[in-house]
Structure 1
Amino acid sequence: MAPEVPLDDEEFVSRAQAGDLAAYESLVARHTASAYRTAVLLGAGSDAEDVIQEAFVKGYRKLSRYRGDSSFRSWLLAIVANETRNLHRSRDRRHGLVLRAARVAPGAEVGEDSAVGSVLAGERRATLVRALRQLPDRDREVIVCRYFLDLSEDETVAMLGWPRGTVKSRTSRALVKLRALLDVEAVRHG
């Protein structure tokens, strides 16, 4: 008997588009770890599980629109990135409300989200994440795609929806900024 060959994403996508829920569940199982990492690294923190759950639901609803122009993984991670951006917008609105309430009621404190620190072990990784969080959103997104998620340039273009030249130039500039932030961290904690 021949060994069973695991199905690739495209086969699972085709089956899921034809209504096979188990095939979509296989895609979810296959990509949960990278979706979670994406959400955490883009700043979802303790809300990462909610973000990826919402992304998987939206992915299922939009599956008929997936055309295979990019890998399923990069298409899905683009949805995760969008959901993380939505989370940031809602956090910013909530944060504004909390700040206004704090002005009314002095003594109320705004807590800092430390979930990323608890998720990522080790001091070096924590230092890297601190520096990464200081980057502007678009710089952070391209660094996460290229180096934390190991996406190819093509996959990064597909995930972020940016022109190839923008991905190349922003990656280069973001790395320079990240190195400078890491140098500052090294001096501060070294």
Structure 2
Amino acid sequence: MPDEDFEQFVRMRYTELLHTAYLLTGSVTSAEDLVQACLLKIMPRFGRIAEPMPYLRRAMVNQRTSWWRALRRELLSASPPERAAPDDPARGLAERSALVAELARLPERMRAVLVLRYWEDLSEAETAEVLGCSVGTVKSQASRGLARLRDLLESQNAQRSAR
């Protein structure tokens, strides 16, 4: 039977973990699977983990990497989201969908850095610790990742304008 502390932790942090997993995987079902797999792995030793959130973030990144290596390729959507009307209240949702789609096109390590730095709002040092790399690597991956996202989104907007 799971520990009450573990159950309380899951109730409090599940949504947050699911958001992070979604940004790492690009799919709701894959995100749910990722969170479930990582929670099952830590459940037996939860009481011995001093800082469960950083531990789980690292576990999710590692598990996602393992799945990616097993598949050897990612399945991405080739079609951009539908174009929103200028006064459409769903425009923000479409822009967010476009951002998530372009985020999914980034290399896995770069995506992990951006998710942890800007979605999870971790410091460069915390991100480096979770990913097991140097702060310099986090800085360079974040810089390159943001630049690549900007380029991808600008080219997508240019394609939409040309239609």
With normalisation by structure 1, the TM-score equals 0.67
User: Equivalents in 1 of 2:77, 2:64: separation in Å?
Assistant: 15
Match of 1:89 in 2: 69
Change (3 A) 1:113 1:49: farther
User: Equivalents in 2 of 1:131, 1:39: separation in Å?
Assistant: 16
Pairing 1:147–2:118 present: yes
Report the aligned-residue RMSD: 2.7
Structure 2 residues without counterparts, runs of 5 or longer: 82-91
Q: 1:56 aligns with which of 29, 32, 39?
A: 39
The alpha carbon displacement at 1:65 in A equals 5.8
Quick one: percent identity of the two aligned structures? 32
User: Equivalents in 2 of 1:171, 1:47: separation in Å?
Assistant: 24
User: Equivalents in 1 of 2:26, 2:69: separation in Å?
Assistant: 11
Change (3 A) 1:184 1:112: closer
The alpha carbon displacement at 1:156 in A equals 1.1
The alpha carbon displacement at 1:158 in A equals 2.2
User: Equivalents in 2 of 1:182, 1:33: separation in Å?
Assistant: 27
Matches within 5 A, 1:1-190: 21-43=3-25, 45=27, 46-63=29-46, 66=49, 68=50, 71-92=51-72, 122-190=93-161
Amino acid at match of 2:36: Q
Change (3 A) 1:89 1:44: farther
Amino acid at match of 2:69: R
User: Equivalents in 2 of 1:22, 1:64: separation in Å?
Assistant: 10
The alpha carbon displacement at 1:25 in A equals 1.0
Amino acid at match of 1:43: T
Change (3 A) 1:165 1:20: same
Structure 1 residues without counterparts, runs of 5 or longer: 1-18, 96-110
The alpha carbon displacement at 1:183 in A equals 1.0
Q: Is the 8 A contact 2:26 2:104 kept in 1?
A: no
Amino acid at match of 1:33: T
Amino acid at match of 2:70: S
The alpha carbon displacement at 1:92 in A equals 3.2
